[in-house]
Amino acid sequence: MQRFTPARRLLSEFKCSLRRQRRCFSQVAPNVVDNNDGFGPKIPSFDYSPPPYTGPSADEILSKRKEYLSPAMFTLYSKPLNIVDGRMQYLFDDKGRRYLDAFGGIATVCCGHCHPDVVEAIVNQTKRLQHSTILYLNHAIADFAEALANKLPGNLKVVFFTNSGTEANELAMMIARLYTGCHDIISVRNAYHGNASGTMGATAQSIWKFNVIQSGVHHAVNPDPYRGVFGSDGEKYARDVEDLIQFGTSGNIAGFISEAIQGVGGIIELAPGYLPAVYSTIKKAGGLCIADEVQAGFARTGSLFWGFENHGVVPDIVTMAKGIGNGIPLGAVVTTPEIAAVLTRRSYFNTFGGNPVCTTAGLAVLKVIEKEKLQENAFVVGTYLKERLTALKDKYELIGDVRGRGLMLGVELVSDEKLKTPAKLETLHIMDQMKEMGVLVGKGGFYGNVFRITPPLCFTKEDADFLVDAMDHIIARM
């Protein structure tokens, strides 16, 4: 780790003040280290030291990735980060440097990296029985299914376990199509639901859609309060769904699928009033309403446990993944007994789905969320963080919008506040600089100009301050 002498500090400060007038993207703030006395905001203290890392270097890994992994596999940052250890809301690189994880492995690590209760559950179960399939009984799957069902409103109490969000959404779409006997499904532009054939159709951003047949999906106008043509008038947007059905389908459809807050799409919270209006339209057309809770679920929105609850609706099918297992490969579909019965027509089987280790981890996650009051924390810290970010927005024209709920927040950067021109390059630069300062955020939005802040739910106010201060510090020097 580098240490800074007072002289170097003064020198860099001087350099920075010269640069303030220029719009260039060269190195700005000096490296901020864990317990430094250097310039810039400090990462909150944390009592944990990772074991020393003796594995392959970043360069070695990069060259192996180039040779043996997908050529389309991307990394964040101009100099990719070699992350080797994680503890609660922090990650450690190969040099032992600590970073604030404000992205949560893409809204996935909800309790915290290597949370002791979750790790204990995983380790104990792995030592006993990793896998046997549901052909035999095991209490873990039954206990977790019960606990999960108890978290859902209405008659949503039959659970199907899968291994990912994509698998969960694929199953949900198939169930809707089988139940209704119709093929058409409506999703929202800018949505992300997965990468397999059905879900690729529901996903609505060209960068994620390959040139293959994706049939039976219609994409509705996105009820985007910031960029959408109707602003925050949810009901106006809902009329587009009605039109899609009346003019683009037989009048009867299989269903509607949406996220309560679009994740990959840039933390866009659906305009208020949209979902209730759309759900009503869908029901009239005989369709089922699917709520994709892969990112917004599991207490992340703070105010309520599920994202859809914030919109005052009760879906027919709920899909989940990511946070459900704090990072273990697990997904689930929950629906009513009536709808679930369609799968009895033939056999649906998922070999790994519902295995003892993953379901034990899932149950541990639910217990941690309750015991540590993570939903409340997400609300309190999230509200605080959003306030601070909003203050930052008032300070800098570069920040076009601050939105989201709880610990699912987005910061959209624009180079022109009126035209809302996406500030793509600035976003990349700031993101890189944030990493240099010790904060890891995510990126999203169709234009790649939105910071996605979806940390582990144990994120504190001090962490929030550090994040905002770092951002402030960096933007001030641009």
Partner 1 sequence: MAMLQRRILKSTLEEAKARFNFNWYPILSPCASFSTLPSSSTTATAHDHVPPHLPPFDYQPKPYNGPSADEILAKRKRFLGPSLFYYYQKPLNIVEGKMQYLYDESGRRYLDAFAGIVTVSCGHCHPEILNAIVEQSKLLQHATTIYLHHAIADFAEALAFKMPGNLKVVYFVNSGSEANELAMLMARLYTGSLGMISLRNAYHGGSSSTIGLTALNTWKYPIPEGEIHHVMNPDPFRGVFGSDATRYAKEVQDHIEYGTSGKVAGFIAETIQGVGGAVELAPGYLKQVYDIVRKAGGVCIADEVQTGFGRTGSHYWGFETQGVIPDIVTMAKGIGNGLPLGAVVTTPEIASVMAQKIQFNTFGGNPVCSAGGLAVLRVIDKEKRQAHCADVGSHLIGRLRSLQDKHDIIGDVRGRGLMVGIELVTDRKEKTPAKAETAILFEKMRELGVLVGKGGLHGNVFRIKPPMCFSKDDADFLVDALDYAMSKL
Within positions 84 to 103, which residues make up the interface with partner 1, using CB under 8 A?
Answer: 84-86, 91
One symbol per residue from 134 to 173: x for binding partner 1 (CB under 8 A), - otherwise; what is it?
A: xxxxxx-xxx-xx-xx-------xxxx-xxxxxx--xx-x
Of 123-131, 273-281, 373-381, 414-422: span binding partner 1 (CB under 8 A) = 123-131
Query: Does position 321 bind partner 1 by CB under 8 A?
Result: yes
Handedness of CA 381, 87, 328, 468 (dihedral sign): positive
Identify which of residues 92 and 256 has a Cβ nearer to partner 1 in the complex.
92
Identify which of residues 101 and 309 has a Cβ nearer to partner 1 in the complex.
101
Q: Among 38, 40, 198, 287, which residue interacts with partner 1 (rule: CB under 8 A)?
A: 198
Instruction: Pick out residues in 222-241 that bind partner 1 (CB under 8 A).
Output: none
Alpha carbon distance 430, 25 (integer Å): 9
> Cβ 458 to partner 1, closest distance in Å?
15
Identify which of residues 209 and 371 has a Cβ nearer to partner 1 in the complex.
209
Query: Does position 263 bind partner 1 by CB under 8 A?
Result: no
- Determine the residue type at 438: G
What's the order of all strands across the beta sheet hosting 317-320? 158-162, 331-335, 317-320, 288-292, 255-259, 185-188, 217-220
Identify which of residues 328 and 474 has a Cβ nearer to partner 1 in the complex.
328
Any idea which residue has 């043996």 for tokens?
A: 68
Instruction: Pick out residues in 337-356 that bind partner 1 (CB under 8 A).
Output: 337, 340-341, 343-355
Query: Does position 7 bind partner 1 by CB under 8 A?
Result: no
> Cβ 212 to partner 1, closest distance in Å?
5
- Determine the residue type at 126: T
Q: Among 33, 109, 278, 369, which residue interacts with partner 1 (rule: CB under 8 A)?
A: 109
Of 23-31, 77-85, 241-249, 384-392: span binding partner 1 (CB under 8 A) = 77-85
CA of 352: how far to CAs of 163, 196, 265, in Å?
A: 7, 18, 30
Query: Does position 210 bind partner 1 by CB under 8 A?
Result: yes
Q: How many residues bind partner 1 (CB under 8 A)?
A: 113
Query: Does position 73 bind partner 1 by CB under 8 A?
Result: yes
Identify which of residues 24 and 212 has a Cβ nearer to partner 1 in the complex.
212
Alpha carbon distance 180, 296 (integer Å): 27
Degrees to nearest 5, angle at CA 106 with 101 and 108: 90
Of 132-140, 244-252, 399-407, 416-424: span binding partner 1 (CB under 8 A) = 132-140
Q: Among 8, 15, 19, 65, which residue interacts with partner 1 (rule: CB under 8 A)?
A: 65
Query: Does position 326 bind partner 1 by CB under 8 A?
Result: yes
Alpha carbon distance 377, 381 (integer Å): 6
Query: Does position 182 bind partner 1 by CB under 8 A?
Result: no
Handedness of CA 137, 142, 144, 145 (dihedral sign): positive
3-state secondary structure 158-204: EEEEECCHHHHHHHHHHHHHHHHCCCCEEEECCCCCCCCHHHHHHCC
Query: Does position 196 bind partner 1 by CB under 8 A?
Result: yes
Alpha carbon distance 396, 376 (integer Å): 30
Give the residues across from 341 on adjacent strands.
none
Query: Does position 367 bind partner 1 by CB under 8 A?
Result: no
Q: Among 7, 24, 69, 419, which residue interacts with partner 1 (rule: CB under 8 A)?
A: 69
- CB neighbourhood size of 122 (10 A): 20
Of 29-37, 57-65, 224-232, 375-383: span binding partner 1 (CB under 8 A) = 57-65
Query: Does position 133 bind partner 1 by CB under 8 A?
Result: yes
- Determine the residue type at 178: L
**Cβ–Cβ under 8 Å, residues 303 and 407:** no
> Cβ 449 to partner 1, closest distance in Å?
16
> Cβ 452 to partner 1, closest distance in Å?
11
Query: Does position 197 bind partner 1 by CB under 8 A?
Result: yes
Query: Does position 71 bind partner 1 by CB under 8 A?
Result: yes
Identify which of residues 234 and 445 has a Cβ nearer to partner 1 in the complex.
445
Identify which of residues 16 and 81 has a Cβ nearer to partner 1 in the complex.
81
Alpha carbon distance 99, 50 (integer Å): 12
> Cβ 367 to partner 1, closest distance in Å?
16
Q: Give 185's contacts (C-beta < 8 A, 6+ positions apart).
A: 173, 176, 177, 201, 202, 216, 217, 218, 253, 254, 255, 256, 257, 287
Of 16-24, 209-217, 269-277, 445-453: span binding partner 1 (CB under 8 A) = 209-217
Read off the tokens for 92.
């450690």
Identify which of residues 213 and 419 has a Cβ nearer to partner 1 in the complex.
213
Q: Could you say which DSSP state residue 288 is in?
A: E
> Cβ 383 to partner 1, closest distance in Å?
27
**Cβ–Cβ under 8 Å, residues 295 and 221:** no
> Cβ 78 to partner 1, closest distance in Å?
13
Strands 98-101 and 255-259: unpaired
Instruction: Pick out residues in 441-470 that bind partner 1 (CB under 8 A).
Output: none
**Cβ–Cβ under 8 Å, residues 455 and 103:** yes
